[in-house]
Structure 1
Amino acid sequence: MTLRMQEPDDEPVVPAVTVEALQRALAGEHAALWAYSLALAFVPVEWARQARQDVEAHTTLRGQIAQTLTEVGQRPVSAQPAYQAPQPVVDAVSAGALLVSAETDTIAAWRSVLERSSQAPLREAGLRAMTEATGRLAYWRTVTERSPIVPVFPGRD
């Protein structure tokens, strides 16, 4: 997602509303990584492989967003020291539910980037991130036996 959003010696051309959406997407990636670190302590071995792949994906996205924000002269938001899980995580199912929530939140944040950006490279990156997160969401909804597997409007529920 590293984008050339400005010309040499020019001011950044990214509107403030787009920067705010990117900051929210970065905050969502931070929160998702925290959720995965907690969930990994509870998920069974057969789910852990997917969880580790998801961690890699979120880590990559986090780095790309931070780099993009830095390139346009913005300081990327930092991760919080901890986050509040929507419900206690005490077993595999509740850990999976936490990951459903984390992926839903990241999809919503990426949707916000799409809605608040006019730059084609950023919109393409946002759509790709949203699509990949929907795939991760479908996996976690499947293993936690939630229906539908893919919500009608991912990121809205």
Structure 2
Amino acid sequence: MSAAPATSGAVSSDAVIDALQSALAGEHACVYGYGVVGSYLSDDAQAGARRALEIHERRRDDLRARLLALDAEPVAALAAYTLPFAVDDGSSARELAGVLEERLGALYADLIGVGAEGDLREFATGAMADTAVRAVRWGAEPTAFPGLQGRPGMPVPEDESGQD
């Protein structure tokens, strides 16, 4: 595990620590979920899931280090997670991967939104963009506001507003 980069004093606020904990919990869920995803894929898709898993493991470790640097006890992974739907083939595995990435993107958006500064903001912004790209690669619909779609106060695309 690499040491967390230095952060400013403003980063130690309770809101930032809570957002870091939420992002860490999301990374734990992604690591678990990609274990399920990979078991239903083969060839290139399985290799893509393996690469995504490695990225999420690195980010999980980075988030843990950042929390420890702020004297916060990192949230532990659960033994198991409830999947949002049944996964029983390659198609549903790809769908799950897209959902995992979209949900995680929202957690990184929250981290940015609470006022993360400097390196932490750069880390969260990069992670949010990366999850958006990966979600689309797995087949999710691209959104104008990755990680924020469907949240209160966010614009609704015209085709989803219910207006003709």
Alignment correspondent of 2:7? 5
> What TM-score do you get using the length of structure 1 for normalisation?
0.87
Alignment correspondent of 2:101? 103
Alignment correspondent of 2:58? 60
Alignment correspondent of 1:140? 138
Q: Distance in 1 between matches of 2:124 and 2:63?
A: 10
Which amino acid is the alignment partner of residue 54 of structure 1? Answer: A
Which amino acid is the alignment partner of residue 4 of structure 2? Answer: T
Report runs of 4+ in structure 1 exceeding 3 Å deviation.
none
Which amino acid is the alignment partner of residue 72 of structure 2? Answer: Q
Which amino acid is the alignment partner of residue 27 of structure 2? Answer: E
**Per the alignment, do residues 133 and 13 of structure 1 end up closer, same or farther by CA in structure 2, a change over 3 Å counting?**
closer
Q: Distance in 2 between matches of 1:49 and 1:15?
A: 39
Q: Distance in 2 between matches of 1:71 and 1:45?
A: 39
CA contact under 8 A between 1:32 and 1:58: conserved in structure 2?
yes
- Equivalence map 1:19-98=2 (5 Å): 19-98=17-96
Q: Distance in 1 between matches of 2:59 and 2:52?
A: 11
Q: CA deviation at 1:6?
A: 5.9
Q: Could you report, residue by residue, the CA deviation over 1:11-36 in whole angstroms, capped at 9, with x for unpaired residues? A: x8510000000000000000001000
Helix, strand or coil at the partner of 1:40: helix
**Per the alignment, do residues 52 and 39 of structure 1 end up closer, same or farther by CA in structure 2, a change over 3 Å counting?**
same
Q: How large is the RMSD of aligned CA atoms in angstroms?
A: 1.7
Which amino acid is the alignment partner of residue 3 of structure 1? Answer: P
Q: Could you report, residue by residue, the CA deviation over 1:40-80 in whole angstroms, capped at 9, with x for unpaired residues? A: 11012220111111011101100000000001100000011
> What TM-score do you get using the length of structure 2 for normalisation?
0.84
CA contact under 8 A between 2:7 and 2:119: conserved in structure 1?
no
Q: CA deviation at 1:3?
A: 2.7
Helix, strand or coil at the partner of 1:5: coil
Aligned length: 147
For residue 110 of structure 2, the aligned residue among 92, 112, 115 is: 112
Q: Could you report, residue by residue, the CA deviation over 1:114-147 in whole angstroms, capped at 9, with x for unpaired residues? A: 0012422111110011111112111101xxxx5x
Q: Distance in 2 between matches of 1:42 and 1:13?
A: 40
Which amino acid is the alignment partner of residue 110 of structure 2? Answer: S
